[in-house]
């Protein structure tokens, strides 16, 4: 059992008392959200499993839901934090695991309070599924790295102050070994962000051009050439953040299909009923599996199991949205709104069936393609023999481009 600096044990009851004492001093009804969150961070109630002084208390990760639920019960539910998913879900755990004390002190608090938004500069036009094939170069001159290249499918790049970035620093070694991980200032000279309009009409994503962008070595995360190892922490957390959110029974997109079935008896057929029941059962099985994953996360770090959660999320969304269109027939082919906008997140529940169908196609690409996730599940979860990889020991510069 963890103890606080005064020697008192930190169990669920003790944390509830801490939250109650905190709320008594910082009334959610009269304290603005930024001030409240900043004080919550300082009190160690942001991420209780983080170290003291860095938003936590060094408590077991399993106690975080206790804290969150108690804050909600006492009247504090943060709003407008959709744009923080990359910072909270990916950058924070990576900086905690591999960042220097100076980096943790500089970035964790404003990341948590929402003062600074983050994006992720990983995928490239020629390195999506095979991320280790990335070609963005970082060349060191003294204590500064000069970075040039192109990244793509970057959410929130047009709003972000910082990015987590992987770049190639040594082309003379095999592709997984010559990568280094950086924090990139998105306002730096040479960073050019351009919107990518999707089939839905929206532009959730961007392409980012890096033209001789200067990054101080103090913004390198982890050792030089260790970027692949650092990036695995980011990727595992990303897959959990996409596919591992808790949901109630009949939550998510299956709720839309089930509601349609109940409200529209004119669309019902025995065949569609069979499809709906099969997908309802699959969605419930996925929900329970994600709950088990969340319990595993409570006692450790995300592992390859998060890939299974993300894979099932993608497959179910695509099949359910297809069923929704099939139930509606020609009516489902109408599209509600083709307005160009740059949303901070995806909101399925408030859009029409056509949007559900088109947007869900991207689920099998973002956060790890379905093909790559199947390999991860097969090799790291099921223990099957790995695929032959002929380029594993070949220097990156000698690989065919």
For the annotated catalytic residues, the residue numbers are 238
Run of H or E including 191: strand 191-196
Count the neighbouring beta carbons within 10 Å of the beta carbon of residue 243: 25
Q: How far apart are CA 266 and CA 263, in angstroms?
A: 9
CB 230 within 8 A of CB 90: no
Say what angle helices 305-328 and 270-297 make with each other, to 10 degrees.
Answer: 160
Dump strand ranges (E) for 52-130. Answer: 118-121
Dump strand ranges (E) for 203-310. Answer: 205-216, 220-221
CB 57 within 8 A of CB 103: no
CB 3 within 8 A of CB 9: yes
Among residues 290, 283, 284, 281, the alpha carbon closest in space to that of 310 is found at 290
Structure tokens at 27: 């009334």
């Amino acid at each position: 059992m963890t103890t606080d600096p005064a020697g008192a044990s930190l169990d669920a009851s003790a944390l509830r008392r801490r939250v109650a004492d905190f709320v008594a001093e910082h009334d959610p009804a009269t304290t603005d959200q930024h001030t409240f969150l900043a004080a919550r961070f300082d009190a160690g109630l942001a991420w209780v499993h983080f170290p003291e002084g860095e938003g936590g208390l060094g408590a077991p990760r399993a106690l975080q839901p206790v804290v969150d639920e108690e804050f909600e019960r006492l009247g504090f539910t943060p709003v407008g934090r959709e744009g923080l998913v990359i910072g909270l879900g990916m950058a924070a755990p990576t900086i905690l695991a591999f960042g220097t004390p100076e980096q943790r002190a500089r970035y964790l608090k404003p990341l948590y309070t929402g003062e600074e938004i983050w994006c992720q500069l990983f995928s490239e036009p020629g390195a999506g599924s095979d991320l280790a094939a990335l070609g963005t170069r970082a060349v060191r001159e003294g204590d500064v790295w000069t970075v040039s290249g192109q990244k793509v499918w970057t959410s929130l790049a047009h709003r972000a102050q910082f990015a987590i970035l992987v770049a190639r620093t040594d082309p003379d070694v095999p592709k997984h070994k010559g990568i280094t991980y950086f924090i990139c200032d998105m306002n730096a000279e040479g960073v050019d962000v351009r919107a990518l309009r999707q089939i839905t009409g929206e532009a959730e994503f961007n392409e980012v051009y890096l033209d001789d962008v200067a990054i101080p070595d103090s913004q390198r995360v982890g050792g030089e050439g260790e970027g692949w190892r650092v990036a695995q922490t980011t990727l595992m957390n990303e897959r959990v953040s996409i596919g591992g959110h808790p949901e109630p029974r009949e939550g998510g997109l299956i709720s839309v299909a089930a509601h349609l079935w109940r409200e529209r008896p004119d669309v019902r057929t025995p065949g569609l009923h069979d499809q709906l029941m099969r997908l309802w059962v699959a969605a419930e099985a996925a929900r329970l599996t994600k709950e088990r994953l969340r319990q595993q996360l409570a006692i450790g770090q995300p592992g390859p199991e998060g890939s299974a959660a993300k894979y099932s999320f993608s497959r179910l969304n695509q099949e359910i949205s297809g069923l929704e269109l099939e139930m509606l027939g020609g009516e489902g082919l109408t599209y509600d709104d083709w307005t160009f906008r740059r949303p901070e997140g995806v909101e399925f529940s408030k859009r029409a069936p056509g949007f559900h169908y088109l947007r869900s196609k991207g689920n099998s690409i973002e956060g790890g393609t379905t093909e790559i996730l199947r390999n991860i599940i097969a090799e790291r979860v099921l223990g099957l023999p790995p695929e032959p990889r002929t380029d594993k020991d070949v220097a990156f510069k000698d690989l065919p481009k």
